[in-house]
Chain A
Amino acid sequence: MGDQAPAIELRGISKAFGPVQANKDISLSVAKGAIHGIIGENGAGKSTLMSILYGFYKADRGEILINGQETQIPDSQAAIAAGIGMVFQHFKLVENFTVLENVVLGAEEGALLRTTMSNARKHLTEIAEEYEMDVDPDAVIEEIGVGMQQRVEILKSLYREAEILILDEPTGVLTPAEADHLFRILRGLRDEGKTIILITHKLREIMDVTDTVSVMRRGEMTATVKTAETSPEALAELMVGRKVLLRVDKKPAQPGRTVLKVDNLKVVDDDKVERLKGISLEVRAGEILGIAGVSGNGQSELLRVLGGIERATGQVEINGQQIDLTGRHSDGRSRRERGIAHVPEDRQRAGLIMDFAAWENIVFGYQWDPTYNNGWLMDNAGIREETEGKMERFDVRPPHAHLEAKSFSGGNQQKLVLAREIERNPDLLLVGQPTRGVDIGAIEFIHQRIVDLRDAGKAILLVSVELDEIMGLSDRIAVMFDGKIMGERLPGETNEGELGLLMAGVTNGGSA
């Protein structure tokens, strides 16, 4: 490569949204034929920077050079013309179109589709062969898996002759095996001379697949290093600005009596699809049971049933007492009265009222509790005072009880939910995706609080799609696939490979 011009060079890019400086004087150079990682916490400015590169936003200042040529990118058409392709975190595919139709969409050659389609079919097959991405051009998008859908997104870019491919958090929806497959494809593309920018918050992926990596923090590019010359710990420190504990520090569990006993739990959704196909499990006091699995395999339904949101059949006992699953005699409130606290998977849609102030959210779900009421009226002053204490103990920043939930960052929103649920001192804590969209610095804190609750002798049911999190926190791991539990493992006696196979529905005896 040597003196060849870089594929992308950014000089002094700045972008502000109102008072927020999303990108501050960013300079970046990505060599041709390299996989370049960009890592940073949520809100560090990664997505803004890529959106500028793809023509969604216009930079306030700075210039973009593509292959050494200064280039204006006012919209995504210009980005495509400059040879830039983007694969978004949430795919932009038409669900009921075929692969071929999706690839062609927006790049039709004329008013009539016939010639376009036959040319496209030939071209697509060539590309797919060249980069070893097997896809059926006539498969309908909604009938193929997410890994395949992602390949269609990549093919879409290649079809438009992209030389530079940007992938935004591409592994969020993939199993470990699918992620590995994606990385193989990316390496293949690099070897063919394509340039790839990989945006992620997962340190492991950066270490696995990138050649160089840039770290962003608070809108600034803090470092660019060769991946071979750095370590996850060093990168984490660059991201957060201080030393971070990547491993969860915990003592062996001291499991006590059984708190939660689930037997043959079944859920059928409105479309008559069976979402839970007979789940049985137990969680004991003082232990964390982790449920691993690719999202959409019934974990959400399990949490929602136990949290009193969804109806089910089967048996659930809490502290030896049966609870009603029909929804006729129970709801989220009666579950709370039984000592079940629930940190839901989606804090913005369920855990918090985004337009409510922090102090209103800190009693949300417990507003009926006599301690928050003076007879007919709510004790708002008392609640505000209590909120300040909770925000301090859970390090919620900024510590202002009157601010609306939506004005806090993801991590601080999650701390609000955790402060509310954990400080109820529940017998059973249901936790879904505790650190989704949460900064690394806050992850450490949240994990510690969950372990503390376990050490206080409480039962915890943890659902997460982050395998690292499951491995690090759980005392036992159950893997869910297609509404069933594929097996239970102890974290010390298994590895990501074995769990990954279970998550894909493969047991020792073959595919399920």
Chain B
Amino acid sequence: MDAMPKWADMLLVPLISLLLAMVISALVILGIGEDPWAALKLMVQGSFGSTYGWGYTLFYATNFIFTGLAFAVASHAAMFNIGSEGQATLGGLGVALVCLALPWPHWTVALVAAMAGGALFGAAWAFLPAWLAARRGSHIVITTIMFNFIGLAVLNYMLVNVMRPEGSMDPASAKFPDSTNLPSLHDILALVGIPFSKTAPANVAFLVALVACVLVWLLLWRTRFGFELRAFGKSESAAVYAGISPTKIIVVAMLISGGLSGLMAVNNVMGEAERLVLNSVEGAGFIGIAVALMGRNHPLGVLLAAILFGFLYQGGAELALWTSIPRELIVVIQGLVILFTGALDNMVRMPIERFFLWRRRNAQAGE
């Protein structure tokens, strides 16, 4: 029997970890002479207090959902894909090439084509590390992190030498044609009569991310391939006994993972920037790892954790804007959340497990 009920594992442990991270963050803020309570209020106000705040929070969350799902899928196959950053970078290249290639008649067509382009480029960037891991035993952590750097270099080369419009000094692509501009949440919610901030960057890609959550859930827990993928992730020796090919699982899981990372570009490149710039991913690939860890590699958990990290990003920006708390401290707070929810998970888990065991024993003794 499990030591504690499922809800405690899924909700209680992350929440207590989060609380601990907040307490330490509060102490740090107190230490530099600011009021932690006011800071928290400002963060909440700034990210959830207005539709403008929501618009930014959900925009960031959309990035994190894609990279979180990407990490989660690979994780279920026991692959530690920390190459999301590079895969999303390449995804951006794919999206940009698609958007600039044709005079797209309507944003819907452009969206579908850009999704295909982003996913394809992201998956392609994951393919080589996957193949090396499956056939040569190269460690996926090493190869994917190397590919992050190569990816950045490729983007740099493409922007400077190939995609930069003539006469421009900026290492960025030309602006995408208007017909590829995605509707923002303002446009979508206006259809049902809900007012929403016009300037916030959240766009239709958020809905794509929600669909991706459902599809990943279906894939992992409802399909044969998902069954085989999870089986392989839990026990390679058992998978081989059952006739499941490790090569197939590793390669396909990494392609899906890379594809999901690449899809992120639909949000940040196509939906917001509307052109391709250097460093458009801005670390979202790494945040995805924390999101997936905190979300227990489950799409619903990833969704919730992504919104939390969206809040930290947006609230952090507000803090930097309105208080003398430096931007670096926001990174400290984000780091603490990652530390407590990811790395120090067992520190919280063990006492909670013990508590549940103690309660159960008392209940039995009372019978």
CB-contact partner of B360 in A19, A331, A378, under 8 A? A19
Counting chain A CB atoms within 10 Å of each CB, the highest count among B2, B3, B241 belongs to B241
In the complex the two chains form, is B361's CB within 8 Å of A309's CB? no
Q: Could you say which of B26-34, B42-50, B219-227 contacts chain A?
A: B219-227
A360 B242 Cβ-Cβ under 8 A: no
Chain B residues with Cβ below 8 Å from A403 are 1
Q: Tell me, rounded to whole Å, the shortest Cβ–Cβ distance linking A16 to chain B.
A: 8
CA distance A335 to B364 in the complex (A): 48
1/0 contact string of A434-464 vs chain B (CB within 8 Å): 0000000000000000000000000000000
Tell me the chain B residues, 331-365 only, with Cβ under 8 Å from chain A. 357, 360-361, 364
Alpha-carbon distance A360/B228, docked complex (angstroms):
11
CB neighbours (8 Å) of B357 from chain A are 18-19
Partner of B231, one of A344, A353, A404: A353
B-side contacts of A376, CB under 8 Å: 223
Instruction: Please tell me if the beta carbons of A332 and B241 are within 8 angstroms of each other in the complex.
Output: yes
Given contacts A18-B3, A350-B237, A407-B1, contact A331 B222 (CB under 8 A): no
Q: Does A371 contact B (CB under 8 A)?
A: no
Residues from chain A with a CB closer than 8 A to the CB of B231 are 353, 356, 364
Check if A293 is an interface residue, CB within 8 A of chain B.
no
| B238 located at the interface, meaning its Cβ lies under 8 Å from any Cβ of chain A in the complex | yes
Question: Which residues from 391 to 431 on chain A have a C-beta closer than 8 Å to any C-beta of chain B?
Answer: 403-404, 407
Nearest-CB distance from B69 to chain A (Å)? 19
Residues of B within 8 A of A332 (CB): 240-244
- Whole-angstrom distance from the CB of B239 to the nearest CB of chain A? 8
Measured between beta carbons, the chain A residues less than 8 angstroms from B138 are none
Asked if B188 is at the interface (CB within 8 A of a chain A CB), the reply is: no
Chain A contacts with B in 358-395, Cβ cutoff 8 A: 360, 364-365, 367-368, 373, 376-378, 380
A377 contacts B222, CB within 8 Å? Answer: yes
Shortest CB-to-CB span from B256 to chain A, Å, is: 15
Contact between A353 and B235 (Cβ–Cβ < 8 Å)?
Answer: yes
* B218 contact set on A, CB distance < 8 A: 377
Chain A residues, CB < 8 A from B243: 308, 331-336, 365
A349 contacts B235, CB within 8 Å? yes
- Residues from chain A with a CB closer than 8 A to the CB of B224 are 367-368, 373, 378
A364 and B238 alpha carbons, distance in the complex (Å): 9
A176 within 8 A of partner (CB):
no
**Is the beta-carbon distance between A350 and B1 smaller than 8 angstroms?**
no
Query: Which residue of the partner chain, among B1, B228, B361, contacts A367 with CB atoms under 8 Å?
Result: B228
Query: Counting CB contacts under 8 A, is B234 at the interface?
Result: yes
A residues in contact with B223, CB < 8 Å? 376-378
- Cβ A360 vs Cβ B360 within 8 A: no
Q: A407 to B241, Cβ gap below 8 A?
A: no
Tell me if A356 and B245 are in contact (CB < 8 A).
no
Of B1, B234, B245, the residue contacting A353 (CB under 8 A) is B234
In angstroms, how far is the closest chain B Cβ from the Cβ of A134?
39
Query: Number of contact residues on B: which range applies?
Result: 20 to 34
Partner of A365, one of B3, B237, B241, B361: B241
A351 interfacial contact with B, CB 8 Å: yes
Interface string of B289-309 (1 = CB under 8 A from A): 000000000000000000000
B254-268: which have CB < 8 Å to A?
none
Please indicate the chain B residues that have their CB under 8 angstroms from the CB of A84 in the complex: none
User: Out of B222, B237, B238, B361, which one reaches A378, CB within 8 Å?
Assistant: B222
A407 touches which of B2, B227, B240, B244 (Cβ 8 Å):
B2
Complex alpha-carbon distance, A378 and B218, angstroms: 10
Contacts of A350 in B (CB 8 A): 235, 237-238, 240-241
In whole angstroms, how far apart are the Cα atoms of A433 and B245 in the complex?
A: 25
**Chain B residue with minimal CB distance to A380?**
B222
Grouping DSSP codes into helix (H, G, I), strand (E, B) and loop, the B interface class, with mixed when no group exceeds half, is helix
Instruction: Tell me, yes or no, whether A138 is within 8 Å of chain B by CB.
Output: no
A58 and B153 alpha carbons, distance in the complex (Å) = 59
* Size bracket of the A interface: 35 or more
| Contact assessment for B364 and A19 in the assembled complex, using a CB-CB cutoff below 8 Å | yes
With A and B bound together, what is the CA distance between A56 and B158 in angstroms? 63
Residue pair B241, A307 in contact (C-beta under 8 Å): yes
A335–B357 CA distance with the chains assembled, in angstroms: 44
Residues from chain A with a CB closer than 8 A to the CB of B242 are 332-333, 364-365, 367
> Which residue of the partner chain, among A16, A309, A351, A353, contacts B240 with CB atoms under 8 Å?
A309
Q: A19-B357, A307-B241, A331-B245 are in contact. Are A378 and B227 (CB under 8 A)?
A: yes
Mark A330-352 against chain B: 1 for CB-CB distance below 8 A, else 0: 01111110000010101001111
Distance in angstroms between the alpha carbons of A352 and B360 in the assembled complex: 29
Closest chain A residue, CB of each to CB of B226: A378
CB distance from B182 to the nearest CB of A (A): 29
Confirm or deny: A354 has a beta carbon within 8 angstroms of a beta carbon on chain B: yes
Q: Does A355 contact B (CB under 8 A)?
A: yes
B361–chain A nearest beta-carbon distance, Å = 6
Interface centre among B218, B243, B360 (most CB of A within 10 A): B243
Cβ-closest chain A residue relative to B232: A353
Please name all residues of chain B whose beta carbon is closer than 8 Å to the beta carbon of A367 when the two chains form the complex: 224, 227-228, 242
Once the chains are docked, how many angstroms separate the CA of A307 from the CA of B2?
Answer: 33
Tell me whether A18 and B235 are in contact (CB under 8 A). Answer: no
How far, in angstroms, from A354 to B233 measured CA to CA in the complex?
Answer: 12
**Which residues of the partner chain A approach B222 to less than 8 Å between Cβ atoms?**
377-378, 380
Which chain B residue shows the least CB distance to A376? B223
Complex contacts, B3 vs chain A, CB 8 Å: 18
Interface hub of B227, B231, B237, B242 (most chain A Cβ within 10 A): B242
Known contacts A308-B243, A334-B243, A377-B218: A356-B361 contact under CB 8 Å: no
- B-chain residues with CB within 8 Å of residue A308 when the two chains form the complex: 243
B227 touches A360 (CB 8 A): yes
Interface string of B200-225 (1 = CB under 8 A from A): 00000000000000000010001110
B241 engages A344 (CB within 8 Å): yes
Closest to B218 in A: A377
Minimum Cβ distance to chain A for residue B245 (Å) = 7
Enumerate chain B residues within 8 angstroms of A309, measured Cβ to Cβ: 240-241
Note all chain A residues with C-beta closer than 8 A to B245. Answer: 331
CB pair B240–A352 under 8 Å, yes or no, is no
A253 to chain B, nearest CB (A): 28
Residue of B nearest to A346 (CB): B237
CB neighbours (8 Å) of B238 from chain A are 349-353, 364
Name A38-84 residues within 8 Å CB distance of B.
none
Q: Which residues of chain B have C-beta atoms less than 8 A from A334's C-beta?
A: 243
Closest 7 CB pairs of A and B: A332-B243, A333-B243, A365-B242, A350-B241, A331-B243, A18-B357, A377-B222
Pick 28 A–B contacts, CB within 8 A, sort by A.
A18-B3, A19-B360, A19-B361, A308-B243, A332-B240, A332-B243, A333-B242, A335-B243, A336-B243, A342-B241, A346-B237, A350-B235, A350-B238, A350-B241, A352-B238, A354-B235, A355-B234, A364-B238, A365-B243, A367-B242, A373-B224, A376-B223, A377-B223, A378-B223, A378-B224, A380-B222, A403-B1, A407-B2
Interface residues of B (CB under 8 A from A): 1-3, 218, 222-224, 227-228, 230-231, 234-235, 237-238, 240-245, 357, 360-361, 364
6 extra interface residue pairs, beta carbon distance < 8 Å, beyond A308-B243, A333-B242, A346-B237: A309-B241, A335-B243, A350-B241, A356-B234, A368-B224, A403-B1
